[in-house]
């Protein structure tokens, strides 16, 4: 029998046997409690953030594997800043994030971002800040991207 893949978004460290996972896992015959505990262990570092998860089940053997995806950059920004959402208008700033936190997010996301360098990963995170209308170090994120392009923050990317 072919393996089944169940994809879902779960709140980091807080998956439950209720919908959507429980009902989807029930017919596979796996130990739902054990699967949920494994998911919660693997996603605990993303507490408060929705994390994409895939549970791949072999129904004939009841064996499973869990793949944890990476939360979107916007979710990591909101978590770092402690905000619910970005600004809905270009005239209202949703908040200000320190460049050090942008760097931390870029390091976490660097494997899943389509970029070859940490510098470019930081610029991608700042690009998300632009779309959420979040400033960085008190400046528009687009200004900080320009500064990075001109070498103003090169010390952050060494070592």
Residues 45-59 have a mean pLDDT of 89
Please count the structural domains in the chain.
2
Confidence band for 133, pLDDT divided at 50, 70 and 90: very high
Contact 109, 70 (CB under 8 A): yes
Closest by Cα among 89, 87, 100 to 129: 87
What pLDDT is attached to residue 113? 78
Last residue of a domain, one of 53, 68, 83: 68
Count how many Cα atoms sit within 13 Å of the Cα of residue 138 in the half-sphere of its side chain: 0
CB-based burial, 124-154: b 16+ in 10 Å, e otherwise: bbbebbbebbbbbeeebbeebbebbeeeebe
C-beta separation of 63 from 23 below 8 A: no
CATH number at residue 91: 1.10.10.250
Domain end point (choices 20, 37, 68): 68
Question: What pLDDT is stored for residue 159 in this prediction?
Answer: 57
Q: Which domain holds residue 97?
A: 73-157
The answer to whether residues 138 and 86 belong to one domain is yes
79 and 93 both lie in a single domain: yes
From CA 23, how far away is CA 2, in angstroms rounded? 19
Pair 94, 145 in one domain: yes
């Amino acid at each position: 029998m072919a393996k089944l893949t169940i994809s879902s978004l779960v709140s980091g460290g807080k998956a439950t046997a209720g919908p959507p996972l429980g009902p989807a896992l029930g017919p596979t015959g796996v130990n739902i409690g054990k699967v949920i505990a494994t998911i919660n262990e693997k996603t605990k570092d993303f507490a408060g953030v929705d994390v994409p998860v895939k549970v791949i089940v072999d129904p004939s053997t009841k064996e499973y594997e869990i793949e944890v995806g990476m939360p979107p950059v916007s979710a990591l920004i909101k978590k770092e800043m402690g905000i619910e959402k970005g600004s809905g208008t270009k005239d209202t700033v949703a908040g200000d994030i320190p460049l050090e936190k942008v760097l931390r997010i870029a390091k976490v996301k660097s494997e899943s971002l389509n970029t070859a360098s940490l510098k470019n990963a930081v610029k991608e995170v700042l690009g998300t800040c632009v779309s959420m209308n979040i400033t960085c170090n008190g400046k528009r994120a687009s200004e900080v991207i320009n500064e990075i392009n001109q070498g103003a923050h090169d010390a952050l990317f060494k070592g």
